[in-house]
Amino acid sequence: MSEQAVTALRRSIAGLESAASSLGGEAAFSLGHDAADAALGPLRRHALHEVIASPSQAPAASGFIAGLLARLGRRPVVWLRQDAAGVEGGELHAPGLAGFGLDPARLLSVRGRDALAVLKAAQDAFPRGNDRRSGIGAVVIELNGAPSCLDLTASRRLVLAAREAGVTALLLRLGDGIAASAAVTRWEVSAAPSAGRVRAHGPGRPSFAVTVSRNRHGATGRWLMEWDSHAYSFREPLPVALVPTPARRPDQAQPGRIRSGNLAEGAFAGTWPAARRVSG
């Protein structure tokens, strides 16, 4: 990034910090999913967490991260991406993010020319000095593939920056065969069908297949999770539809007409928005 771009980024972050200087935060957070929370334990807030997904699952990964950000509170968020990210995985979709409880008004989206520029901008995104533990609540660093600049040393710098700034760092990595980093946890995320909603003739809740393959402070495991937009919480999928088919009325649904919670296709059943808008 140019010196002018870095200066503009710092000014934008300063404005967000000023608007949220009175908001505090706890040292840990949870998902709201009983089984996962029991296994994983409290998730460290001032740390680096890594989310992995294949490029085709970018909308699902973004939706999952939006849910995590909603669980963290209402402090501003900086989301850093490469210039080509929208072409490959779709652009961030404001109505979709809002559906996960992430207010687009508190999201500052920053673009970098390449992975190295994104990592350099990330270091400027973390609050410093007297603004530590206030203002920015989270920094999302989204990278494609396995760039050579993101080695173990670079990820350790992100760990230290998050700890010193008192914010949560979420490293979103889109690709296959990605090497380990210094992150406290590693989450592998993909879209899952919305359980028990097809016969309800309406949109299902966003659903995810989540595998925690690394956890420095607890167990690992695999779970199916639904996002409850009313409680701002992940939960275990319900086994049956909330709205049963009326009695004495033939079921008019035709196979294949309703897509149930398929984030990978960029849309839910009906008109429910995805976290990314995928063109084409």
Collect all residues with Cβ–Cβ distance below 8 Å to 18 and sequence separation of at least 6: 135
Of 38-52, 197-211, 259-273, give the lowest mean pLDDT range.
259-273
What percentage of the chain has pLDDT greater than the value 70? 71
pLDDT band at 145 (very low <50, low <70, confident <90, very high): confident
Is the distance from CB of 140 to CB of 92 less than 8 angstroms? no
The reported pLDDT for the residue numbered 170 is 98
Residue whose tokens read 């996960």: 100
pLDDT band at 27 (very low <50, low <70, confident <90, very high): confident
pLDDT at position 202 over 70: no
101 closest CA partner among 277, 228, 264: 228
The reported pLDDT for the residue numbered 187 is 97
Distance CA 171, CA 143 (A): 8
* pLDDT mean over 227-239: 88
* pLDDT mean over 264-272: 32
Is the distance from CB of 115 to CB of 143 less than 8 angstroms? yes
The reported pLDDT for the residue numbered 191 is 94
Per domain, the residue ranges of the chain are 46-238+257-277
The reported pLDDT for the residue numbered 163 is 93
The reported pLDDT for the residue numbered 271 is 30
Sign of the CA dihedral 151, 43, 80, 145?
A: positive
Tell the CATH topology of 46-238+257-277: Rossmann fold (3.40.50)
Task: List 212's β-bridge partners, or say none.
Answer: 187, 221
